[in-house]
Structure 1
Amino acid sequence: MLTMEAKVVQWPRISTWIETDKTGRRPSGSLQFAHQRSRGHQRIKVLISAQIQPTGTSNKQRPKVVSVSCSYKNFPASVLKSGINDSYDESMILKNKSQEIEPYLSGRCIYLVGMMGSGKTTVGKVLSQVLGYSFCDSDSLIEQEANGTPVSDIFQLYGEGFFRDKETEVLRKLSIMHRIVVSTGGGAVNRPINWKYMHHGISVWLDVPLEALAKRISSVGTKSRPLLHSDSGDAYRNAYNRLSTLLDERSEAYANASTRVSLENIAAKLRYRDVSSLSPTAIAIEALDQIENYLRDEEGMSFGTF
């Protein structure tokens, strides 16, 4: 389980936004071996990797295993029902993946885009923890600039246009920063100028099925979401209909992101029937996989394997 706290960005503490690289001693060796196990009538091969280091100065002492990870066709080990604690194993996979990718990011910010309720803040905090980045929510920064006025009140008092102007200004300021994971507002993708700023970093679209979005949002209420709030009717149906309209308006804009993370695809790979079964860590692993693909395909970078 990840234990590092996410560092949250606030405007008054600009000096904390850019962090120095952390240094540490690498394990002195690694070990990989394959193990076959059966699932039903199918035999599968599991690759188990172990990072090792000596436990003392004597050559006769046995090495100490400091980390172990398992994979099958790049699926997290939770797919394999191996009996290993799923959250621990996912965390190890995420840690290994982040260590592989982080040097190639060169400090660039990561912008998470997607519909409201898609998990941008939750996944963003996981990514910031494991990459050693700071984290910020663009809506929270807008509220700071409005003397703590909640987003819903900003819409009511000043209108959506005022809010979007503030959103663009926040993204402009963030575009010159480094080592930040940014959770953007659902409508930030509508303005081309916002993409100009976000393309200073790497943007990731969290693509979540409408049914899951409507279920999440209706279960917690829509009072804090000015584009969805309704005082009458079925909460789920109202949320679904409004989200469907918004997605139709924004889907082409979301496709401008550097890469896309489809929760439906993750659930299919992990053999889950519902995307609600996915952990934030599993989604973060897929996000890093897609970022790696982007860096390899668009920028010609090559990566070692763990």
Structure 2
Amino acid sequence: MEATVSQSLRLTTWTSSDYTVPTMRNSMRLHTIFEKKKRDNNNMLQCNHLATIKPTIGHRTTGLKASCTSQNSPASLLKSETFITEEDLLLKEKSEEIKPCLSGRCIYLVGMMGSGKTTIGQILSEVLDYSFFDSDKLIEQTAGGTPVSDIFKLHGEGYFRNKETEVLHKLSLMHQLVISTGGGAVIRPINWKYMHKGISVFIDVPLDALAQRITAIGTASRPLLHHGTGDAYTQTFRRLSKLWEERSEAYTNAHVRVSLECIAEKLGVGDVCSVNPTQIAIEALVQIEDYLKE
């Protein structure tokens, strides 16, 4: 499947869902990530924060939480015995229910920068047995590995948006993919034409939570977030608010909306930072299933 995808796209620099995604830290608890089970005498699961994005379904570690503050301190590395959680079982059950209904259609994740699309996308690809692609990473690879921030500097945003549209067009010709899109992919109507060949899912995260997370990990890789003078969080929040004003209406074009505030309310927690990636992935599958029933 993965080899077929790469050949069909005719971009030999593109890689499959197993390519390495750069490690991110302080992920608003959106990035509770699990390494695959170690085959050792202790039958233990080593959990390195964000070292591996795909979870091993049915195996979970406890106590791993990344701070949702502006303090740039990495989450602790914890060891825990392997066990099966209700969330793992529900995620697997829901994925098995919905997969036949998808009929191979691709899933496109849209949302503001820092909303956790890559992590959630890889969880969904794992349980649905789909391949995963990050559109920004594909653009970088077609540019010889040039980071998005440098593409903006060297060629401008217009050039990047053209490449983004080309990537989405090629992906739209494929099946059984989960695709994490860039935050600004929604601003071009032609991109929606391609994404609507599959199912588009809007990951809706409050701006204050996004600003906290992005401030914590830094804005060097975020070409549209240029800090002025003053507090970094305040500057990030202001810039995010401006981008939200420009894009919020476009996000409503998504077939499905997954609100972290709604998930937190359902779970009875007061802070969206308490919502973990598995819970978001489950809600995404629930919302997709409801959409397909309409």
TM-score in terms of structure 2 length: 0.73
Preserved CA contact (<8 Å) 2:91 2:278: yes
Shift in Å at residue 12 of structure 1? 2.0
Equivalent in the alignment of 1:12:
12
Return the index of the structure with the highest Cα Rg. Answer: 1
1:215 to 2:177 alignment: no
Work out which of the residue numbers 98, 123, 128 in structure 2 matches 1:126.
123
Shift in Å at residue 88 of structure 1? 1.8
SS at match of 2:203: strand
Q: Which structure's residues are more often strand, by fraction?
A: 1
Distance 1:163 1:199, change over 3 A: same
SS at match of 1:261: strand
Distance 1:278 1:87, change over 3 A: farther
> Over residues 17-61 of structure 1, what are the superposed CA-to-partner deviations in whole Å (9 max), with x where a residue is unaligned?
8xxxxxxxxxxxxxxxxxxxxxxxxxxxxxxxxxxxxxxxxxxxx
CA distance in 1, matches of 2:93, 2:14: 29
SS at match of 1:112: strand
Shift in Å at residue 235 of structure 1? 1.2
Equivalent in the alignment of 2:252:
255
Q: Which amino acid aligns with 2:148?
A: V
Preserved CA contact (<8 Å) 2:16 2:132: no
- Note the 1:43-82 alignment, pairs <5 A: none
Q: Which amino acid aligns with 1:200?
A: K
- Note the 1:1-306 alignment, pairs <5 A: 11-12=11-12, 88-230=85-227, 232-297=229-294
Aligned-residue RMSD, C-alpha: 2.2
Q: Flag structure 1 segments of 5+ consecutive residues without an equivalent.
A: 1-5, 18-66, 68-84, 298-306
Distance 1:206 1:15, change over 3 A: closer
Distance 1:241 1:14, change over 3 A: closer
Q: Which amino acid aligns with 2:292?
A: L
CA distance in 2, matches of 1:245, 1:279: 27
Q: Which amino acid aligns with 2:239?
A: R
Distance 1:86 1:199, change over 3 A: farther
SS at match of 2:151: helix
Q: Which amino acid aligns with 2:12?
A: P
Shift in Å at residue 101 of structure 1? 0.2
Give the percent of matched residue pairs that are identical in Structure 1 and Structure 2.
65
Preserved CA contact (<8 Å) 2:215 2:233: yes
Runs of 4+ in 1 over 4 A off after TM superposition: 13-17
Distance 1:86 1:217, change over 3 A: farther
Distance 1:273 1:291, change over 3 A: same
Shift in Å at residue 231 of structure 1? 6.0
Preserved CA contact (<8 Å) 2:204 2:257: yes
Shift in Å at residue 89 of structure 1? 1.4
SS at match of 2:12: helix
CA distance in 1, matches of 2:83, 2:272: 16
CA distance in 1, matches of 2:83, 2:122: 19
> Over residues 70-120 of structure 1, what are the superposed CA-to-partner deviations in whole Å (9 max), with x where a residue is unaligned?
xxxxxxxxxxxxxxx997211110000000000110111000000000110
Q: Flag structure 2 segments of 5+ consecutive residues without an equivalent.
A: 18-57, 59-81
Shift in Å at residue 279 of structure 1? 0.8
Shift in Å at residue 233 of structure 1? 2.1
Q: Which amino acid aligns with 2:179?
A: V
How many corresponding residue pairs?
A: 225
